Amino acid sequence: MRTPIIAGNWKMHKTVNEAVQYIETIQSNQLPQDVEAVICAPFLTLHTLQDKLAGSSIGLGAQNAHWEKEGAYTGEVSVHMLQDLGVGYVILGHSERRTYFAETCEQVNKKTIAALNAGIIPIVCVGETIQERESGRTFEVVSSQVKKALKGIASNELHKVVLAYEPVWAIGTGRASSANDAEEVIAYIRKTLMSEFGTAVAEQIRIQYGGSVKPENIATYMAEPNIDGALVGGAALDPESFSGLVKAA
Ligand code: PEP
C-alpha cells in the first residue's frame, strides 16, 4: 500500500508572515492523517515554518537544493543545510528550474542522490513539453528523465523517492491532463521502474500527477490505480484550497 502524498509547491510566493498565517489556517482545518501533506516553501520561510510545524503531521519541503555540502556556489542552498534545519522533502527538477535555470538531468541526479544521503525525501519532477507530446515522444522523454534522475541510486534507497509526472503544458495553464491520460503515462513510468529496478521497488515508489490540479478535479486522479497523489502549484497557494485538496485525496 502506497500512502497518498499531496505536496503544495508555493514557488516564489509568500513572505514569512504570509507563510505563518497560511500554516495557522491549515492547522485549524483538521487534515486527515492517512494522507501525507507537504508544504514546499521558499528557503527564507523554512526556518520559521519548521518551528511552526514542530510536532505536526504536515511535512515541510524546499523547492531546490545543491548537491555539494558547502562551497563557492553563490546563491545556492545545500541539501546539508536543509537537513540541519530538519526539512523533510525537496522538489527537484521542476520544469521551471529545467526551463529557466537550465537544470540538467545530470544535476537532478546529483541532487536526488544528495537528498537521499541526507535523509530528505526527493520529489523528482519529470514531464514532456507540448511539442514533445504532439510529436508522440511523451513516453520516451519521460522514461529517459526518470532513468537519468535515478541512475546509481542504491536499491534500498529507491523506494523513498517520490516521482511527480508534470506535463509542462499543464503546469499553471489551467489545462490539466485528463486523469486517463495522466494514468497512462504514470503506468508507463511504473513499467519503466519495473524493468530498471524490479517489481518490488516499482510497486513502492509513489508517483504524483501535477499540472492544474484543483480541489474540484483531484478525486479523478486519485481514483486511478497508479496515481499516488498530486504536486500542486496555484491551487496550493490558498490554505483552504490546500486543505480541500488533502481532504479530497
Ligand atoms: C507545479 O508548480 O508543480 C504545478 C503543478 O503548478 P500548477 O498546479 O499551478 O499547475
**What is the per-residue pLDDT across 151-186, written as a single tens digit (0 to 9) for each?**
999 989 999 999 999 999 999 999 999 999 999 999
Please give the pLDDT value at position 11.
98
Average pLDDT over residues 130-144: 98
Average pLDDT over residues 186-208: 97
Beta-ladder partners of 126? 165
Compute φ and ψ for 27, nearest 5 degrees.
Answer: -70, -25
Average pLDDT over residues 81-91: 98
Residue nearest to atom 1 of ligand 1 (CA): 233
Which residue out of 36, 94, 132, 183 is catalytically annotated? 94
Residue 210 has which C-alpha cell? 501535477
| Residue 177 CB less than 6 A away from ligand 1 | no
Say how many Å lie between the CA of residue 90 and the centre of ligand 1. 15
Average pLDDT over residues 181-206: 98
Q: Does the pLDDT at position 149 exceed 90?
A: yes
Say how many Å lie between the CA of residue 13 and the centre of ligand 1. 13
Q: Does 195 belong to an annotated binding site?
A: no
Q: Does the pLDDT at position 39 exceed 90?
A: yes
Rg (CA), the chain: 17
Alpha carbon separation from 61 to 121, 128, 137, 138, 177 (Å, rounded): 9, 24, 31, 28, 25
The CATH fold of domain 5-248: TIM Barrel (3.20.20)
Q: ipTM value, please give it.
A: 0.98
Say how many Å lie between the CA of residue 11 and the centre of ligand 1. 9
Average pLDDT over residues 126-135: 98
Secondary structure of the chain in HEC code, one letter for each residue: CCCCEEEEECCCCCCHHHHHHHHHHHHCCCCCCCCEEEEECCHHHHHHHHHHCCCCCCEEEECCCECCCCCCCCCCCEHHHHHHHCCCEEEECCHHHHHHCCCCHHHHHHHHHHHHHCCCEEEEEECCCHHHHHCCCHHHHHHHHHHHHCCCCCCCCHHHCEEEECCHHHCCCCCCCCHHHHHHHHHHHHHHHHHHHCHHHHHHCEEEEECCCCCCCHHHHHCCCCCCEEEECHHHCCHHHHHHHHHHC
Q: Does 244 belong to an annotated binding site?
A: no
From the CA of 125, give the closest atom in ligand 1. Answer: 3
Mean pLDDT across the chain, nearest whole number? 97
Average pLDDT over residues 99-112: 98
Residue 188 has which C-alpha cell? 508507463
Please give the pLDDT value at position 1.
86
Average pLDDT over residues 62-71: 98
Please give the pLDDT value at position 73.
98
Instruction: Identify the CA nearest to 208 among candidates 147, 163, 168, 149.
Output: 163
From the CA of 173, give the closest atom in ligand 1. Answer: 10
